[in-house]
Structure formats: C-alpha cells, structure tokens
Amino acid sequence: MEKREGQGIIRLTEVDKSFDDEKVVKKLNLDVREGEFLTMLGPSGCGKTTTLRMIAGFEQPDSGEILLEGRNVAGKKPNERNVNTVFQNYALFPHMNVFDNIAFGLVEKKVKKDEIRTRVQEMIKLVKLDGMEKRMPSQMSGGQKQRVGIARALVNRPKVLLLDEPLGALDLKLRKQMQGELKHLQRRLGITFIYVTHDQEEALTMSDRIAVMNNGILEQVGTPEEVYNHPETKFVADFIGESNILEGYVEHVYEDAIGVTMESGKARIPETGYNSEEMVYLCVRPENLKIDARSHEGFSLRGQVREHIFIGSINKTMIELPNGQMLKAETPAEDELVPVGTVVNIYWNPGKVVVMRTKEEMIYNIIERSVQIEGMPNEPIF
C-alpha cells in the first residue's frame, strides 16, 4: 500500500466487527491526526473497547481496513504494531517489580542494558514513582499501578498510545489529578493518544477531538466545543452535557429564519436551509433556557415551574410543558427564584439553539392537540 500524504496517523475505513452475529462496530470511519488527543466517548457496550482492540491488533476486523502510518496492518500481530496499550485493569506483570515491568518492552527490543536503565529511570521520574523501582505490583495502590501501566507503555516511545478507561478504577479526586497529568504528558511528549472513556466531562476537559460513539456507529467527531455547542445528532446532544430536546416541524420558512411548531408551542429560529414541513429537533442547553413573566418576540411557549433543585453554585429549575415534558433551566444560585406553580414564558437567545433534522416521526398526529394543565390560562396556544 503506498503512503498517501496528509492523512492521519491512523485511519479506519468502513470497519465492521461482529461477535456471534451481533454487530458491535458498524462501518466505522475515523481519521486520527498525528499528535492529537482523541477521545472515544460513548455509553457502555457501544464498541469503544472493541475498536481500540482492533487498532492494537487483539481483534481482527471482519471487513474494512485499518492503516497505521499509512500501512495496512491486516494480519499484523500486536507485537508487530507501533502502538502500545494502557489497560483498564492495569495488567501489570505480578511476578515483576516496577522496574522490570517498565523495562519489559525494551528487553524485547534488545535495547542495551544501560540504555534500558536510563530510559526506565527517566520514565519513573516522569510518572512520579521515584524510589518505587523495587516494589511489586501487589504492594501498590490503584493510582500507582496505573502510572506503572502508563510508563510501561510510554517507555517504548510508541507512535500511538491507546488508553482504555485508564482512570476508571480511581476515586474522583485522584482521577481529576491523573487527568491533568495525562494531558500534560501527552502535550510534552507529542504522542498521539486515543483515549476511551464513558465519562463525558473527562472527554470534554482532556481532548483535542472527541469521537462520539453509539451502538457501534460513530455519531460525530469534533472538538469538544463543536460536539457540545453544535451536536449533529440527538444522541450527541443528549449524551454530552445536559440538553432540552424539543420535537417539532418547520411550519414557516422565512427569508432568514424558520418558524418551528412544537407540541407545546412555537418558536422562531434564525436558521436557513430547512424546508417547510420538515421534522426537526431543537436542542437547548439548560444554561441557555430562560424563563420570564413577559413574553418574548418570536416565542410562544409556556410552561409551569415545578421544582427548584440547588446544586452548589447553580440552581436548576424544572418546568413542565403542557404535554408533560420537563425542561431544565439553570441559573446562578444567587438569582431570584420564580415561585413553584407560576406559569412562565420560555425563551432562549436566538443563537443558543441547535436545530437537527430528524427522521419522520410520530409528531404529526398529536401536534394539533392542545394540552391543558392545571393553573394554565385557558387560552388556546396554537
């Protein structure tokens, strides 16, 4: 296979993988750029580990190809690939001390004794395990073991480091600390990281790019800012951060906006490129959802305040729409609260909504029905 210029360090094309007739990874296409921190994010069982294991060489794809540095690695064993893995359960060799664990790969490469010594020492310093060379894995804490696992992989100077939920077993505080250290390490060494997690906060804080996976399918690949602020699918909007998702259809197409009608009201949205009658999802982050006694231009959406929940520095307000759907709005804790039971107008700043196309779904038949809830003024909404 000839080497094409400008492509990523890893490229997966149309990769499929099944276990016992169950499709676990479906038509996956992914380009990983040299030196980036790419996170694979998705719920449990979506195929993240399987994808990583195919890159490492522990599993073979059923079809499609995987290129490492432009070369097809089909049939290459893990020991013939220039990638290293940090395992979720650490997988340290229990019969070797820290030094020998870290030196394992270098011994395989027949590196000279004194070079092994200096490189291992360098790594031990890097992951802050000074003085622990002689410890056995059974005598170490989870965080320390994890550092050994990372050092053992990094000492080989791989092109790509694969990390499968490396911090999954650590407590919150240690996890936060290790997140920072890992990110720092990655920057310093310039090694490409492919990092698997199902913790969206971890993904958002550490990554250069996030690949969101669901059910074996790659839903969206983008920077944290892109996937958070411009989710391309309902799943991404829902999975990354909290979201209010409203279903509706385009009733009017104006020059510079569309008028969307939902089950519970209407909104005018400054977006173009949609057709009349098209089904859409509107996605609004809780911090962007506002409530007010006044009505706002372009919005006719009302709901009733149901509950306030304090979460440290913010206050979360739950608002019920006439059809029973609950919306979340977040405000700073010091802001004055709207009393529970008040009927309010719901709006958002025009730029703070994301519109997504949806497949034709069930909205039509119920959309004309107006819904009545207790305490709402008895005026038709539509």
Ligand X SMILES: Nc1ncnc2c1ncn2[C@@H]1O[C@H](COP(=O)(O)OP(=O)(O)OP(=O)(O)O)[C@@H](O)[C@H]1O
Residue 54 CB, nearest approach to Mg ion (Å): 13
Residue choice 9, 12, 41, 47 for contact with ligand X (CB under 6 A) = 47
Interface region with ligand X, contact rule CB under 6 A, candidates 41-49, 60-68, 144-152, 316-324: 41-49
Asked if residue 49 binds Mg ion (CB under 5 A), the reply is yes
List of residues 6+ apart from 311 with CB closer than 8 A:
none
How far apart are alpha carbons 54 and 74 in whole angstroms? Answer: 10
List of residues 6+ apart from 100 with CB closer than 8 A:
93
Residue 117 CB, nearest approach to ligand X (Å): 36
Residue 370 identity (one-letter amino acid):
S
Interface region with ligand X, contact rule CB under 6 A, candidates 48-56, 61-69, 175-183, 303-311: 48-56
Residue choice 8, 64, 70, 78 for contact with another protein (CB under 8 A) = 78
In 3D space, the residue among 271, 270, 260, 269 whose CA is nearest the CA of residue 363 turns out to be: 260
Q: Cβ closer to another protein: 89 or 177?
A: 89
Residue 322: strand, helix, or coil: coil
Task: Determine the angle formed by the axes of helices 113-126 and 98-108, rounding to 10 degrees.
Answer: 130
Q: Cβ closer to ligand X: 52 or 98?
A: 52
Interface region with another protein, contact rule CB under 8 A, candidates 44-52, 93-101, 165-173, 372-380: 93-101
Asked if residue 152 binds ligand X (CB under 6 A), the reply is no
Edge-to-edge order in the sheet of strand 160-164 = 83-86, 160-164, 192-197, 37-41, 209-214, 217-222
Q: Which does 138 bind (CB under 5 to 8 A by kind): ligand X, Mg ion, another protein, none?
A: another protein
Residue 210 CB, nearest approach to another protein (Å): 25
Helix, strand, coil percentages (3-state) for the chain, rounded to 5, are 25, 35, 40
Asked if residue 94 binds another protein (CB under 8 A), the reply is yes
Interface region with another protein, contact rule CB under 8 A, candidates 90-98, 205-213, 300-308, 332-340: 90-98
Contact characters 31-60, another protein, x per CB under 8 A: -------------------------xxx--
Asked if residue 112 binds another protein (CB under 8 A), the reply is no
DSSP state of 281: E
Asked if residue 44 binds ligand X (CB under 6 A), the reply is yes
In 3D space, the residue among 304, 302, 306, 292 whose CA is nearest the CA of residue 380 turns out to be: 302
Asked if residue 49 binds ligand X (CB under 6 A), the reply is yes
What DSSP string describes 214-248?
A: ETTEEEEEE-HHHHHHS-SSHHHHHHSS--EEEEE
Residue 19 CB, nearest approach to ligand X (Å): 3
Asked if residue 75 binds another protein (CB under 8 A), the reply is no
b/e per residue, 152-191, with b = 16+ CB within 10 A? bbbbbebbbbbbbbbbbebeeeebeebbeebbebbeeeeb
Which residues, numbered 141-180, are part of the site for another protein (CB under 8 A)? 152-153, 156
- Of all residues in this chain, which one has the CB nearest to ligand X in the complex? 49
∠37-43-46 over CA atoms, to 5°?
90
- Judge contact between 146 and 178, C-beta under 8 A: yes
In 3D space, the residue among 39, 54, 52, 45 whose CA is nearest the CA of residue 22 turns out to be: 45
Mode of pairing for the β-strands spanning 217-222 and 209-214:
antiparallel
Asked if residue 285 binds ligand X (CB under 6 A), the reply is no
Q: Cβ closer to another protein: 77 or 359?
A: 77
Asked if residue 209 binds ligand X (CB under 6 A), the reply is no
Asked if residue 45 binds ligand X (CB under 6 A), the reply is yes
Asked if residue 95 binds another protein (CB under 8 A), the reply is yes
Residue 226 CB, nearest approach to ligand X (Å): 22
Residue choice 10, 12, 15, 24 for contact with ligand X (CB under 6 A) = 24
Residue ranges binding another protein (CB under 8 A):
56-58, 77-79, 83-85, 87, 89, 91-95, 104-105, 108-109, 138, 152-153, 156
Residue ranges binding ligand X (CB under 6 A):
19-20, 24, 42, 44-50, 198
Residue ranges binding Mg ion (CB under 5 A):
49
